Structure 1
Amino acid sequence: MTLPTLFVPHGGGPCFFMDAGGGPPDSVWRPMQAYLAGLVASLPERPRAILMVSGHWETPAVTVHVGERPALLYDYYGFPEHTYHLRWDAAGSPEVARRTAAALRAAGHEVVVEAARGWDHGVFVPMMVAVPGADIPLVQMSLRADLDPAAHIAIGRALAPLREEGVLIVGSGMSFHSLRARGPQVTAVATEWDDALTAAVTEADPARRRERVASWDSLPHARFAHPEAEHLLPLMVALGAGGDDAAVRDYRDVVMGWVVSGYRFG
């Protein structure tokens, strides 16, 4: 069974866990929470491991975490004290991590491995929702700091064989990420951006899809939606790993005036 690949929104900080008593999040985040909560059940089979690339880890060369029990990195600021004690105690998978590094090296990519960094909130916050039992091992991989779109699509393509080995490849970011632009006055422009991005991502011809998405900054309002590209680049990895499979938008909502989408390949 070949698993699909995913690009998912991870929300803002610990947005799904702001209630110290464990109650539901603010209503604006509930549709995103419901989408994340249904991800594993929507797959053709339960993954044996997850390989995740987050918009919150950039390194000069692609870096793969090979640790057995990564800690959590609370890399957000100004949130309630209890959110710095959240737990998601899944295991790492050194075997999948080393398989990932080997696949990348075989394709000519420079790769570094490390075992010290904790999982950032682009990993553990959505995974607390998607895999609340923390019972699927996870490996985190960094973005390359140059944020080259075509290079990240190529990185994803090198990882595609892992899909046939029970590994779910997930890009975690946000399809719109402009922290200074919020509110209903942003929605019309965000909609135009989202429509253009979705048209590129779901292009039926795989080669043309890769070309259009690699040229994302030529789309309408691209640099308004992403003044910096790090939250969009996980999409490139997921798209590349999706190969020639069909692409669909399987989530769309308006959050803080932003139009936010999630995508599935295969």
Structure 2
Amino acid sequence: MTTTPVALPTYFLSHGGGPWPYMTGPFREAMRPLEASLLQMRRELGDRPQAALVISGHWEAKGFAISSGARPGMVYDYHGFPEVLYRIRYEAPGSPTLAARVQALLAGRGHPARLDADRGFDHGTFSVMKVLYPEADLPVVQLSLDAGLDPALHLDMGRALAPLRQEGVLIIGSGLSFHNLRIFGSAEGHAPSRRFDGWLQETVLQSAPQERERRLLAWTSAPSARIAHPREDHLLPLMAVVGAAWDEPATRTYHQQDLLGGLTVSSFRFGALPAAAA
């Protein structure tokens, strides 16, 4: 008698600022609530994931692109940090096999994707993976956003990826629920981030699947939407993981109201934890 593999949940993670896990001092201390949420996530997942697929808000391509190198390098896509933070390494392996599987799933739903053997880990990926898997022994593949930034396309992309959840692949959308660099660190972001976060929680946690889809597709009508996201690059990873867990309930896994000068941000899990971890 065979058993059906348990589907892993998907996650939208607000990934914090820059290379924070490699830092010390006040900036690093401000990320402690985020760190605690990631450590709890790892405890809940245990050894169930066999690989991770990260859709990062820091990689856009014409069409979709998939990192396919066996030994990915690093992409230091941040500015103004100490020089030593441009020499850090996260040494997790890639997975050409998983990359090809992702490519096939996307193609099967009408979304051509190219393999990119040279793409390294950007900080949308290594910032969270460093805390989740400090051993760097879990294979990691990155999937880009499409540069057209169409919410419907990214929801459908997520639907294509859904079978991976029963294949031991942890699907992570790495972005930030409030991402307006101009007002990070200022009081100007306090009220807009709270308003947008309130709408996001109502949408994600309280809406039925079809209503959740409708609201996400119309996200620009949310309170303070374009203050929260002048560009939607850090919101679209949410669309992808919602698509991969289409009709499953969500749980808030991280919430902070004092990030980077008083911003409100959240992370979410979609789908149930495996029974042993619930």
Alpha-carbon shift at residue 165 of structure 1 (Å)? 0.4
Shift in alpha-carbon separation, 1:213–1:35, aligned structure 2, 3 A: same
Q: How many percent of aligned residue pairs carry the same amino acid?
A: 48
1:17–1:25 CA contact under 8 A, matched in 2 = no
1:236 aligned counterpart, secondary structure: helix
Q: Residues of 1 paired with 2:167 and 2:119: CA distance?
A: 26
What residue number does 1:123 align with? 125
Which 10-residue stretch deviates more, 197-206 or 207-216?
A: 197-206
What residue number does 2:228 align with? 225
1:143 aligned counterpart, secondary structure: strand
Please give the residue correspondences for 1:235-246 in structure 2 after superposition, counting only pairs within 5 Å: 235-246=238-249
Where structure 2 has 5 or more consecutive residues not aligned to the other structure, the ranges are 1-5, 272-278
1:103–1:158 CA contact under 8 A, matched in 2 = yes
What residue number does 1:205 align with? 208
User: Aligned-residue CA RMSD in angstroms?
Assistant: 1.5
The normalised TM-score by structure 2 is: 0.91
What residue number does 1:107 align with? 109
1:88 aligned counterpart, secondary structure: coil
The answer on 1:6 being equivalent to 2:14 is no
The answer on 1:154 being equivalent to 2:159 is no
What residue number does 2:40 align with? 38
- Deviations 1:142-184 (Å, cap 9, x if unpaired)? 0000110011000001100100000000000100001111334
Alpha-carbon shift at residue 29 of structure 1 (Å)? 1.2
- Deviations 1:59-101 (Å, cap 9, x if unpaired)? 0101111110100111111111111121210111111111111
The letter for the 2-side match of 1:218 is S
1:26 aligned counterpart, secondary structure: helix
Alpha-carbon shift at residue 114 of structure 1 (Å)? 1.3
2:21–2:130 CA contact under 8 A, matched in 1 = no
Alpha-carbon shift at residue 185 of structure 1 (Å)? 4.3
The answer on 1:262 being equivalent to 2:267 is yes
The letter for the 1-side match of 2:219 is W
- Deviations 1:236-266 (Å, cap 9, x if unpaired)? 1011011211112211002022111001100
Shift in alpha-carbon separation, 1:112–1:195, aligned structure 2, 3 A: same
- Within the candidate set 229, 250, 255, 2:253 is matched to 250
Residues paired across the two proteins, number: 263
The letter for the 1-side match of 2:181 is L
Which 10-residue stretch deviates more, 50-59 or 84-93?
A: 84-93
- Deviations 1:101-126 (Å, cap 9, x if unpaired)? 10110011121111012111111121
What residue number does 2:274 align with? none
The letter for the 1-side match of 2:170 is L
Q: Residues of 1 paired with 2:158 and 2:125: CA distance?
A: 18
Alpha-carbon shift at residue 28 of structure 1 (Å)? 1.4
1:104 aligned counterpart, secondary structure: helix
Runs (4+) of structure 1 exceeding 3 A deviation are: 23-26
The normalised TM-score by structure 1 is: 0.95
Q: Residues of 2 paired with 1:218 and 1:25: CA distance?
A: 33
